Structure 1
């Protein structure tokens, strides 16, 4: 069975690529989700939960942007030979995770949304986190699909 580039990236150099490209960003995002649920439930605008959320948001955004997105964008993507649309969707939905995660970091750093009320900032934070979870799950789902499902997949690797 052929693999998408996404799955090949995770399977290569075990366990390091899996940890770097999947475990770290997902653990940061899932921790942020857990904290965010409590923040929304208790309507917190300050305190330890809010501080934890801020730190997690900045770390997740910076990590995904500088340790994952830019390196892959400039090294892997230019040389990639796509293995059907499934492969394209898996890779680009994964890389699109940079938009909401960088947005979370920028929001917490006060570079965007600074004129919004705390309630509006909380909603934007929750929306960006939700968008990340959606694109990450799309990437995971399409990443596990055999690219040949949409036709003859060309071989090759990253």
Structure 2
């Protein structure tokens, strides 16, 4: 969780510039990562899978968890752009945003931990 999000969550000052900055950053990150996701699917995941070049289970888990990050980031972008939860209160949107950040942290740590493992190579 970023300092800005923590400040907005704890202070509940929803009309200050920090809240707007957090919303803009959330929308940007979600859209940006959708592009990263599409590139990685086309240039990495599909060719590696088609060629059978995975070096082990930890490799697959690391890449899969990294790509799963698109779900919470897209959720943040949708919440912050008010395409979902439009009629909800600001507190509900803020709590949903924080929940998505927590999910993102979990999948990012799973990806990072499995990415650091030495993959088993086949001979």
Common fold, TM-score beyond 0.5? yes
1:77 Cα deviation (Å)? 1.0
TM-score after normalising by structure 2: 0.90
Q: Bigger CA drift: 92-101 or 75-84?
A: 75-84
Find the aligned partners of 1:89 and 1:120 in 2 and give their Cα distance. 32
CA RMSD of aligned residues (A): 1.3
Find the aligned partners of 2:42 and 2:64 in 1 and give their Cα distance. 14
Q: Does 1:82 align with 2:54?
A: yes
1:45 Cα deviation (Å)? 2.0
Match for residue 105 of structure 2 among 126, 133, 143: 133
Stretches of 4+ aligned residues off by more than 2 angstroms: none
Find the aligned partners of 1:125 and 1:114 in 2 and give their Cα distance. 13
Match for residue 120 of structure 1 among 78, 85, 92: 92
Query: Is 1:61–1:98's contact at 8 Å kept on the other side of the alignment?
Result: yes
Cα offsets for 1:90-148 (capped at 9, x unmatched):
00000100100111111111111112111111110000011111111111110010012
TM-score after normalising by structure 1: 0.71
Question: What does 1:64-83 correspond to in 2, within 5 Å?
Answer: 64-66=33-35, 68-80=36-48, 81-83=53-55
Instruction: Show structure 1 runs of 5+ residues with no match.
Output: 1-29
Match for residue 82 of structure 2 among 110, 118, 137: 110
* Count, aligned residues: 119
Instruction: Show structure 2 runs of 5+ residues with no match.
Output: none
